[in-house]
Amino acid sequence: MSEEHYYLELCENPVQFENASSVNNVFFDEANKQVFAVRSGGATGVVVKGPEDKSSVAFRMDDKGEVKCIKFSIGNKILAVQRTPKSVDFINFIPDYPHLEFSQECKMKNASILGFCWTNWNEIVFITDQGIEFYQVLPDKRSLKLLKSQSINVNWYMYCPETAVILLSTTFQGNVLQPFAFKSGTMSKMSKFEIELPVVPKPAKLNLSERDIAVANIYGQLYVMYLKHHSRTTDSPCAEVILYQLPREGSCKKTNVLKLNTTGKFALNVVDNLVVVHHQSTQLCVPRCRSAHHCCTALLFVCLWPAC
């Protein structure tokens, strides 16, 4: 196939790391595009690799329990490590600063930390099951300052690092999504919106999974992508990807429907403004471009599973 016919091309130098095992945990940070291989809780080494060799880092930590999440801030200045549902530990990687751990517990009583997101080199957001907490990290004082918090019941969350927007799943069914935008020490609450479910369960239960949602910056606009599965008993059981455009101000609106023409398990990504749907069972690479409203970004079936 000639180069002008490529829809998607893999890089020639993939990031290689030790596979997950009983002694090695592997994490991926979407914001910095870094893979963390943590051996024995960090006691025997942590190897961090990114798309460029200069972003690679290797170090050791004290083994203080199982690592649940680990991420560098922008520029690899501060490392954040979550080991418990109540707190996050920090280590300075700034030259001439003490290389000692310090910790921050979440402020909300009886809350459990679902995860965290760096929004700047020294600003971090804790997402708990009871809301979000926005902090400024003070590396010289080895402490954190609470900038703002918001109480809200949270099922799960998504983060778009390109736009610094966090999407929270709320309500019993999980289909009411509340976005928050972050910029230069400020947190803004955006308009919430509801994902239309194909079937409404009775009694109400969590029915929208984070596996079926993705957020992405497409042609400079923030989109929420919903992977909608239809019942096999319907006239059109094939799955669809529904795109919702999410402006900084104003209400969210449904803009596009991408027909997948098949069913099964999928995963969603966006590469160079191209929506990529990974289809596990068929292992096919078939381009599609359809929209319920107007012509939109091309849709590509591509399988990245090892069997491909």
pTM: 0.87
Share of residues in the chain with pLDDT > 90 (%): 62
Distance CA 136, CA 89 (A): 14
* Amino acid letter for position 167: L
Share of residues in the chain with pLDDT > 70 (%): 87
Q: What is the pLDDT of residues 5-46, one digit of tens each?
A: 656 677 788 888 899 999 999 999 999 999 999 999 999 999
Most confidently predicted of 94-108, 139-153, 191-205: 139-153
Nearest-5° Cα angle at 215, 166 to 239:
140
Query: What confidence tier does 238 reach under pLDDT thresholds 50, 70, 90?
Result: confident
Of 190, 185, 234, 228, whose CA–CA distance to 208 is shortest?
A: 228
Give the pLDDT mean for 201-207: 81
DSSP 30: T
Report the range of poorest mean pLDDT among 50-54, 204-208, 278-282.
278-282
Distance CA 117, CA 31 (A): 8
Torsion of CA 42, 47, 49, 54, to 10 degrees: 120
Q: Are 73 and 81 in contact (CB under 8 A)?
A: no
Q: What is the pLDDT of residues 158-192, one digit of tens each?
A: 999 999 999 999 999 999 999 999 999 999 999 99
